[in-house]
Amino acid sequence: MDNVIVQQFEVWVAGNYAIAASATLWIADYMGTLSMESRMIWRKKHTGTSILFILNRYSSFLYLLIYMVFRMPGNSTDQECRTLLWIFSSAEAMSLITTTALFSLRVYAIYDESQIILAISILFTLSRLAMDIVVHIHFL
């Protein structure tokens, strides 16, 4: 029994190291592209695509931060955990949907703005959104 607990703890610690390493890389990339984002996104007129980019970038950042909070030890009330879980799930869904939408726009552009490709991409995006909503409602 003690061996199992030690192994689980070691896996948990290794997972935390992996998360910290990936978060460090993500934040380094974020900081490295912040000046470009400032020039290309914030100083120009906002379009649908730039708003998608902003939502994606900052919901991903929020998702990462809350995920790291969940992985760390500590004491929290049930209400605090539920609130964090709701924010976490919302940021995750927003990040996934905006990423999918940006990829759909990219594919649409690559295929010479084909309406069929756009319709298929929108169908996939909406089905992903529906699945996320069902999971979100079911688990919260």
20-60: pLDDT as tens digits:
898 899 889 989 999 998 898 889 899 999 999 999 999 98
Q: Which of 31, 49, 138, 52 is nearest to 95 (CA)?
A: 52
| pLDDT exceeds cutoff 70 at 3 | yes
CA distance 94 to 55: 7
Confidence band, pLDDT 50/70/90 cuts, at residue 9: confident
Full-model pTM:
0.73
* Domain residue spans of the chain: 1-44, 46-140
Task: Find where tokens 């990339």 sit.
Answer: 29
DSSP element (H, E) containing 11: helix 2-37
